[in-house]
Structure 1
Amino acid sequence: MNPKRSRSHPPRKPDPIRTFTVREPAQLLAFLLASPTGQGRNAIKSMLARGQIAVNGNAETAYDHPLSPGDSVTVSLEKIVQKTRLIGLSILYEDEELIVVQKDAGLLSISSPHDASALTAYRQLMEHVRQKDPNRRVFVVHRLDRDTSGVMMFAKSERIQQALQNDWQNAVKERVYVALVEGHVKQADGTVSSWLKETKTLKMYSSSHPGDGQHAVTHYKRLQSGAGFSLLEVRLETGRKNQIRVHMQDIGHPIVGDKKYGSRSREIGRLGLHASVLAFVHPATGATLRFESPIPGAFLRPFRQDSD
């Protein structure tokens, strides 16, 4: 009987990425030397120089970088791709077809011909998707004015962009804004309907002739009033350029900070308009998705001051 031959196994390849949790304060190099990385001092220094070490998800090259308890240190056999640091923007939802974000006031949705080099939501999200696939793109579905904050979405393909834009009225189930306006709005709720046109200086206005321009309908409800201001919930039946801003001026209550449309107040240091709710039918799955962003604290400040 032949004795059984023992099978030799090839040496186990090291994991391509290993993560270690810091338990006590240390410098990065000392921590790595004390951890079971399987690498010596010179190898670790080379990995640091090549960007293969990350602390809390961010590539780190300094060997004396201070670590604190709870920090996460990642060791990779390949160069670590730095995550995009979004500025004035946060992702609320993302799948293979869509990205839903919250945009801060002051950030452009997309660059204008006069400001092509500006930081925009579009440019940042393009960089974000291309980190996973250099061929990916994002497509603008709708926009928020530069000084308007709140929820907006982008498509990841032209097909999804067109599906949403071509059926916008049916696809969007809820689109709600919060507006801080000047003065006391007497009516608890109301509707503004007009035809909007644009001047040569790109300012929108309501035409006095029915049918002259794009029809725009805005519904509003008073949420709070006092101290010379009113807080309104605004729902769009149509989505025209600067629609809310024009209609608030039309009823004699311009949006706070909106000098272009008649405001004289700088009470909160920004435009008093925030896209608070966006609900829509997902064009690929058919599911209804709803996203809500809280009312900015600055919008409530005038009413707190009035109650003091």
Structure 2
Amino acid sequence: MKTYLSYTVTDVHQGLTVEAYLKQVLNYSGRTIQKLTRKKGILLNKKNAFLQKNVNSGDVLKILSLEDTTFGVEPEQGPIEILYEDNYLIVLNKPSGLLVHPTGQTSHGTLSNHLAYHYQQHGTVCTIRPIHRLDRETSGCVLFAKDRRTQTYLEKLLKEGKIKRTYHAVVIGIIDPPNGTINLPIGTHPAKPNRRAVTEAGDPAITHYHEICTSSEVSLLELALETGRTHQIRVHLSYLGHPIVGDRMYGKRSDLISGQALHAVSLSFPHPFEQRVISLEAPYPSSYLRVLKAYSLVSEHNDH
């Protein structure tokens, strides 16, 4: 049996074409609209709708619900920590050491495989749609959409800089000045294609930082991204001479932590379909707390 989602046009949107209403009001992508058109899945007042027809106040649009038929990854049992979940999206606290999503030779043991298992156990078939990613050894907040429409909307928010991502990093040395912006382009490393580097030919990359506290050897920094280049925070801090503790690629390994001491501590964004802002914090993992304690960084930041 086909399921339809029903929407009543308000005065504000009177005069839009059906296509414009779907894109601007309901956040459907062009590709999804094409798919709905092929399936005759767009009804205007109970009749097949023409995309260029104008809508009037009080008109009822019914849109065929395109149910997911696959997870997109193989479900695998594994722990997940849910920071927030509703019918449209889910935010997880990713542990260090896991990829967000299968890539290259790795198809198993990722956060997405574990999330697919979580959905499966709850009787839901839902394609795994990460909106952004974290490096394997970075922990913290990761946002996933549960359907195509939410994915389109959240990707648009990300592109517009409306998804605020905040990171905490323990770096070698005392950064000077203690607050600032790093505006240096990042591209592929000329000699090592799996790495990134500050290079004139790179893409624009902007990182804002703020010193939370210091010890004699290290600093705890809060960072916010204006752009989302691969390894951006790690490359920028290393270039300034303050690599992240434990970053084997851009600094050196540490006995205190298996990866780098970088944690996506908070995430804030407007809800796609409800008039509210979602603000979340991910508690530090035990390995991160171990680094903070080893360097005697202030105790009030140990309970995140």
Shorter-chain TM-score range:
0.5 to 0.7
Cα distance in 2, alignment partners of residues 305 and 179 from structure 1:
12
* Secondary structure at 1:179 match in 2: strand
Deviation at 1:262, TM superposition (A): 2.4
| Residues 1:215 and 2:207 are matched in the alignment | no
* Secondary structure at 1:99 match in 2: strand
Please identify the structure whose Cα radius of gyration is greater. Answer: 1
1:190 counterpart residue number: 180
Number of residue-to-residue matches in the alignment: 219
Cα distance in 2, alignment partners of residues 237 and 129 from structure 1:
32
2:171 counterpart residue number: 181
Return the letter of the residue paired with 2:261. G
What is the percent sequence identity of the aligned residues? Answer: 37
After superposition, the Cα gap between the structure-2 partners of 1:251 and 1:305, relative to the gap in structure 1 and judged at 3 Å, is closer
Q: Do 1:204 and 1:241's aligned partners in 2 also have CA atoms closer than 8 Å?
A: yes
Q: Do 1:164 and 1:171's aligned partners in 2 also have CA atoms closer than 8 Å?
A: no
| Residues 1:206 and 2:198 are matched in the alignment | yes
The TM-score normalised by the length of structure 1 is 0.66
Return the letter of the residue paired with 1:149. S
Deviation at 1:286, TM superposition (A): 3.7
Cα distance in 1, alignment partners of residues 282 and 96 from structure 2:
13
Q: Do 1:227 and 1:306's aligned partners in 2 also have CA atoms closer than 8 Å?
A: no
| Residues 1:97 and 2:88 are matched in the alignment | yes
* Secondary structure at 2:185 match in 1: strand
RMSD: 2.2
1:232 counterpart residue number: 221
Where do 1:35-184 residues align within 5 Å? 86-87=78-79, 89-116=80-107, 118-170=108-160, 172-184=162-174
Q: Do 1:171 and 1:280's aligned partners in 2 also have CA atoms closer than 8 Å?
A: no
Gaps of 5+ in 1: 1-83
After superposition, the Cα gap between the structure-2 partners of 1:259 and 1:283, relative to the gap in structure 1 and judged at 3 Å, is same
Q: Do 1:104 and 1:148's aligned partners in 2 also have CA atoms closer than 8 Å?
A: yes
* Secondary structure at 1:260 match in 2: coil
Q: Could you give the per-residue CA deviations for residues 119-138 of structure 1, whole angstroms, max 9, x where no partner exists?
A: 11111111212333453222
Deviation at 1:177, TM superposition (A): 0.3
Return the letter of the residue paired with 2:111. A
Cα distance in 2, alignment partners of residues 265 and 187 from structure 1:
25
Q: Could you give the per-residue CA deviations for residues 178-204 of structure 1, whole angstroms, max 9, x where no partner exists?
A: 001111223211111111111452211
Return the letter of the residue paired with 1:231. L
2:271 counterpart residue number: 282
Considering fraction of residues, name the structure with more strand: 1
* Secondary structure at 2:119 match in 1: helix
Q: Do 1:130 and 1:137's aligned partners in 2 also have CA atoms closer than 8 Å?
A: no
After superposition, the Cα gap between the structure-2 partners of 1:175 and 1:284, relative to the gap in structure 1 and judged at 3 Å, is same
The TM-score normalised by the length of structure 2 is 0.66
* Secondary structure at 1:163 match in 2: helix
